[in-house]
Structure 1
Amino acid sequence: MAEDRVTISIEDGVAEVTLNRPEKLNAFDAKMFAAVGEAGDRLMDEKGLRAVVLTGAGRGFCAGIDTAMLMEFAKDLDALKREIVTPPPGRAANRFQHPCTVWADLPVPVIAALQGVTYGAGMQLALGADLRIAGPDTQLSIMEMKWGLIPDMGLTKLLPGLMRADQALELILSARVLQAPEAQALGLVTRVTEHPLQAAREAARAIAARSPEAARGAKALVRAAWPGGDDQLALEARLQAAIIGSPNQMEAVMAGMQKRAPRFT
């Protein structure tokens, strides 16, 4: 796994997957993208797996995309756009969507333990889990609009079953930061507790004690019955490919990095 960006431990049928870049608040760089997706792929074939706990090392769950990666993207925008709209053969999700959607596709229940910042890519990763248990200090945001982008890491598959369209649009357009209680009220968080990782581990152990066929069936039932699916991932990719690298999008990045008001055309 890419330089231990992600660690995995498995005990009694419960896997604990930890984003392991605490000095950067577990922000996504290229190695993190690869490592998170690889972790999900590995667990697809894990015999005896009953549940997964997904968490982040240190003070935050995930701060989103590393801003250095945004600048890397600018070096070859044509190649990036092609990659966005061309998922690997046999897969609905592209390279950027897969690290988030793989957890929804995993057959066993996945519980995210959230603390500190859960922004942008980190928010979409959390949405890939089936349950989200947050600490009272958790701050959540669909933050891509800050960088002149739309959320493009699987949100269209993962969010529609959780909240109303108008509420989702407001959060996307505003990029505002939610505190854990409001996020719970909107449906983004399952439960708020003082000790989210402990609570997630307890929930995973309780699931592991149930019939594995029933637990997998329950997840399959809910994922299939609620709205949001693979068909929307291609739309997400096409829209983002048209936006990324445009003058206004690059101005949003530069204004954000320079901490000034953007000057859009």
Structure 2
Amino acid sequence: MARVSVEIENHIARVTLTRGDKMNALDPEMLSAIAEAGESLMENDDVRVVVLSGEGKAFCAGLDIMSFGAMAGKDAGDMLLPRTHGNANLFQQVPLVWRKLPVPVICAIQGVAYGGGFQIALGADVRFAAADTKMSIMEMKWGIVPDMGGMALLPHLTRSDVIRKLTYTAQSFSVAQAAEWGLVTEVVEDPLGAAMALAEEIAIKSPSAIRAAKALIEFAETHQHDEDAVLLEESRVQAELMGKPHQMEVIAANLQKRAPVFK
């Protein structure tokens, strides 16, 4: 059974978790399918933005409980410690592939985003969520810790005390609280509609500038204690954009009051 669908139209890749009857819970097949979906877009120059969503009543309820049974008797170290996807294992790649993509990723969240599902959402650049959505760093409920890239992603988004409280307790929290903590970008009535509207706005911007902006933001976040390096990278990236075909088309389109056409 298909776990993920990928549809590309007008430079927007719509990636949908398609296990709606199971609240898009993560079993081994779905973990592989999500990682493969993200990786399939890595070298696609036609894609300018990605919209990530889940079908049905929930974005993602986290790890499928039945998967615990499948792991019984296996050596966890043999499964988790090998770096099978660059600097990550498969579990970590599922959220991190969206951060690694060179184009913006917008996540639409409804119902619940628990455990691994919450960490997948953290990998996106922007998160829109419905007002009644519930979220949780669920792993402590099962006597484990977040291990799908959450500890690499959360410190960029919220405070240490918030991370500690949510990790230690596994308590559910509202998206209103998530927005206050910086874990959700906006609370909206129609998350997928809001995600698509933003994607359409991004898709008509300079493709090279958008990719450069995502890479520059990532550089700034990972070098936040090295101001000299960030300032130099900012200048280097700008120098590569200025006067190039995409930038010249943006200028021409603005002066001629028309939509830009990028080649």
Question: Which bin holds the TM-score, normalised by the shorter protein?
Answer: 0.7 to 0.9
User: Matched residues in 2 for 1:12 and 1:23: separation?
Assistant: 29
Find runs of 4+ consecutive structure 1 residues off by over 4 angstroms. Answer: none
- Ranked by relative contact order (alpha carbons within 8 Å, sequence separation 6 or more), the top structure is 1
Aligned-residue sequence identity (percent) comes to 47
The gaps in structure 1 that reach 5 residues or longer are 229-265
Out of 59, 62, 65, the position equivalent to 1:64 is: 62
Deviation at 1:189, TM superposition (A): 0.1
Tell me which residue corresponds to 2:83.
87
Report SS of the residue matched to 2:7: strand
Tell me which residue corresponds to 2:29.
31
Deviation at 1:227, TM superposition (A): 4.6
Residue by residue over 1:232-257, the C-alpha shift from the partner in whole angstroms, topping out at 9 and shown as x without a partner, is: xxxxxxxxxxxxxxxxxxxxxxxxxx
Structure 2 residue 127 is the aligned partner of structure 1 residue 132: yes
User: Matched residues in 2 for 1:10 and 1:47: separation?
Assistant: 12
Query: Is the CA contact (8 Å cut-off) linking 1:160 and 1:227 kept in structure 2?
Result: no
Matches within 5 A, 1:15-54: 15-54=13-52
Structure 2 residue 223 is the aligned partner of structure 1 residue 225: no
TM-score, normalisation: structure 1: 0.82
Report SS of the residue matched to 1:159: helix
CA RMSD of aligned residues (A): 1.4
Residue by residue over 1:38-71, the C-alpha shift from the partner in whole angstroms, topping out at 9 and shown as x without a partner, is: 0001010212110000000000000000000011
Tell me which residue corresponds to 2:185.
190
Out of 133, 140, 147, the position equivalent to 1:145 is: 140
Deviation at 1:75, TM superposition (A): 2.8
Deviation at 1:72, TM superposition (A): 1.0
Report SS of the residue matched to 1:44: coil
Structure 2 residue 96 is the aligned partner of structure 1 residue 96: no
Query: Is the CA contact (8 Å cut-off) linking 1:25 and 1:63 kept in structure 2?
Result: yes
Tell me which residue corresponds to 1:122.
117
Larger Rg: 2
TM-score, normalisation: structure 2: 0.83
User: Matched residues in 1 for 2:182 and 2:45: separation?
Assistant: 32
Number of residue equivalences: 224
The gaps in structure 2 that reach 5 residues or longer are 224-263
Report SS of the residue matched to 1:64: coil
Residue by residue over 1:3-33, the C-alpha shift from the partner in whole angstroms, topping out at 9 and shown as x without a partner, is: 3100011101000000000111000001001
User: Matched residues in 2 for 1:178 and 1:218: separation?
Assistant: 32
